[in-house]
Amino acid sequence: MVRDPLTGEQFLLVVGKRRPPPLGEPPSARARESLTAMAGYVTRAPKGVFLYASHAEMDADRLRWTVEAIVERARHD
């Protein structure tokens, strides 16, 4: 078993070789660029909890939000 030194969690299996940076070390330039790019991500779905009478109503809203996001992105590209 592998124990996480920060949280104390125990893992039976760890897949991959990526290691977190040492505590107190600032993120690399590449990591900062990635975080900046992710910060601009917009889903177009409004925040909140939605209650629908049927799956069809939910699908209609989700499709509308997806189409709006595609159109908005096409306008800016």
Q: How far apart are the first and last CA of the chain?
A: 48
Look at residue 41 and tell me whether its pLDDT is greater than 80.
no
Look at residue 77 and tell me whether its pLDDT is greater than 80.
no
pLDDT of residue 20: 77
pLDDT level of residue 60 (50, 70, 90 thresholds)? very high
- Look up residue 77 and give its two tokens: 């590209």
- Look up residue 30 and give its two tokens: 């590449």
pLDDT of residue 18: 78
Domains of the chain, residue spans = 43-77
* pTM of structure: 0.50
Q: pLDDT tens-digit profile of 3-39?
A: 888 888 999 988 888 777 888 899 899 999 999 998 8
